Amino acid sequence: MGFKEFMGEKLSFLDHYAKFVNRDKPLPSWSGADVEAFIATDLVHGPALKTAREAAKFSATGSLVGAVSSAGFAWKYSKSLHGSGLAFVFGGLVGWTFGQEIANHSLQMYKLDTLAAQTKFLEWWEDKSERRS
């Protein structure tokens, strides 16, 4: 198996989003109310999407805490602007990952198919936006 086949297999989840990304006319943006309407109407994929949105909040919070605390620590001890900037970026990445792991375990994300839920939402939004126009 060559590199191209290997990467194609590892990134196969992108095929689910290809029909939404490679459109002639992009999908219109949606609001939180639109997502809540989908969650209320789809009893199968709605709860998974709601849980995925909650997990994103965990990740964003972890990213913010990691970035600020790392940059603050670096600034306190080095007074280096570029070092604090790098610590901010690295701390944000580590915080995002740590927050995602906390969400994965506390919200039991491993039991859900969030990719299918997100794809169903995009299909629902595509149908709804086409009916409007």
Q: Note the pLDDT tens digit of each residue in 72-105.
A: 999 999 999 999 999 999 999 999 999 999 999 9
pLDDT at 120: 92
Parent domain of 72: 55-127
pLDDT of 68 reads 97
Share of the chain above pLDDT 70, in %: 93
- The answer to whether 95 touches 64, Cβ cutoff 8 Å, is yes
The reply to whether 11 falls in a domain is: no
- 68 lies in a domain? yes
**Model confidence pTM above 0.85:** no
Contact 22, 127 (CB under 8 A): no
Place of tokens 């994300």: 109
Residue type, 6: F
Instruction: Report if residue 84 sits inside a domain.
Output: yes
| CA geometry: angle 49, 55, 57, nearest 5 deg | 115
Quick check: 14 pLDDT over 80? no
Q: ∠38-64-101 over CA atoms, to 5°?
A: 65
* Domain count for the chain: 1
**16 assigned to some structural domain:** no
Higher pLDDT, 40 or 3: 40
Question: Mean pLDDT, to the nearest integer, of 5-27?
Answer: 74
Asked if residue 44 belongs to a domain, the reply is no
Is residue 91 in some structural domain?
Answer: yes
Residue 62 lies in a domain: yes
Whether the predicted pLDDT of 39 surpasses 70: yes
- Looking at the domain assignment, is residue 72 inside a domain? yes
110 DSSP assignment: G
